[in-house]
Structure 1
Amino acid sequence: MSSLIQHYKIECSPEKIWLLLEDGRRYLAAVMGSAPAQISAEWPQTGSTAHHGVTIGPVRSSALTVVRHSLAPRELRMEVRAGSLGTLGLDLDVRPWGDAALVTVQEYPLSPQGLYSFAQSLPLMLLLRGRHRGVLFEAEQSQLTRVQP
């Protein structure tokens, strides 16, 4: 099974990156292209979910993102079920890199197996790749702080 892996050096702390990931509405709107219609209050804890749309050019699909594993502020594993656009695994690893953070983003098709799955999911993976770059560098430029409920 093929996957796309990208590494980003972001000039801020891993904790600041995690603040962005904790803000599920902002993160999903930036990466998926539309704000979630419904998101679990406990986002991004393991088992939390978000219902949202995914837009690729003129194609729009409803999607469900499920957090499969979360270890703040270092690891976030999600499953993105985007209907005809495919089902993807999406892993984010955030590590200290001197005074910065090294973020590894891995995207891979989950089912069905084989080349068809990869080809079917490739547009979604490429879209997420470009949007992750933008949202991670936004964390670098912003003055993110934890929002108290």
Structure 2
Amino acid sequence: MATASVRLFDCTPDDVFAVLGDGWLYPAWVVGASRMRAVDPEWPAEGARLHHSLGVWPVLFDDDTQLVEWSPPQRVKLRAKAGPLGRGVVVIEVKPRGQGCVVRMGEEPVAGLGALLPRLVWAPLLHLRNEETLRRLAFLAEGRRREREAGESSARATAPDAGAGTPDAQAAAEVGEATDAAAAAAGTDAPGSDAEGTDAPGTDGSGTDPGAAAPSPAPADR
């Protein structure tokens, strides 16, 4: 997707999916999500929802995020609602790299204000937001790895399997629409297509490549 951000994580793909599979952690890594109200007991079954609030107290909007695809330890697709801002599709892809993994996150507005504005307006803002979202996700996933290796935590180290479930028709259609729009804008295969180069750092426009060496945490982020 055109707003894709890429980060090298110092943990396994299973560590990442263990965080994604815990719905109650959603506000801890998603920028803009301020609190969790409920998690469907079926989570992470496809079609299950996270019920959260967006904004800063006392101005909060209650909304939800639906899981459209759960394919651990490679891919997650979410259809997120954002109150008056509309709806968006988020694709998170994870691939092993050395002793760690590369995580790629893309987002595409499909309805509401974001979908009405020109891409040149919203794309830079979403890119910055998703850079911080990946940073927060890395803190959680890498922290689980360190605690597990130190024997300090019995937290799940592998991604939970999805239960039986089906996303609603609107969510599934919007994910397809967002994937097509992102591919058209980028002129390349969109995330989720298993295209070569999906895991290549630097596709976010930074022009950098962490290389193939085992990743290490960035001191500036700590």
Aligned structure 1 segments of 4 or more residues deviating by more than 6 angstroms: none
Residues 130-141 of structure 1 mapped to structure 2, 5 A cutoff? 130-141=132-143
CA contact (8 A) 1:78 1:91 kept: yes
Q: 1:5 to 1:114 in 2, by over 3 A?
A: same
Deviations 1:76-131 (A, max 9, x none): 10011112122110111111111111100001111258552755787566434423
Aligned letter for 1:72?
A: P
Unmatched tracts of structure 2, length 5 or more: 149-154, 158-222
Size of the aligned set, in residue pairs, is: 146
CA distance in 2, matches of 1:15, 1:71: 11
Unmatched tracts of structure 1, length 5 or more: none
Question: Greater share of strand residues, 1 or 2?
Answer: 1
Q: 1:6 to 1:82 in 2, by over 3 A?
A: same
TM-score of the pair, normalised by structure 2: 0.57
Aligned letter for 1:146?
A: R
C-alpha RMSD of matched pairs (Å): 2.9
Of 153, 156, 159, the residue aligned with 1:146 is 156
CA distance in 2, matches of 1:30, 1:134: 5
Question: Which stretch shows the higher mean deviation, 138-147 or 45-54?
Answer: 138-147
For the residue of structure 1 that corresponds to 2:117, the secondary structure is: helix
CA contact (8 A) 1:95 1:103 kept: yes
2:77 corresponds in structure 1 to 77
Q: 1:77 to 1:117 in 2, by over 3 A?
A: farther
Alpha-carbon distance, 1:57 to partner: 8.8
CA distance in 2, matches of 1:135, 1:35: 16
1:36 corresponds in structure 2 to 36
For the residue of structure 1 that corresponds to 2:7, the secondary structure is: strand
Larger Rg belongs to: 2
Q: 1:12 to 1:135 in 2, by over 3 A?
A: same
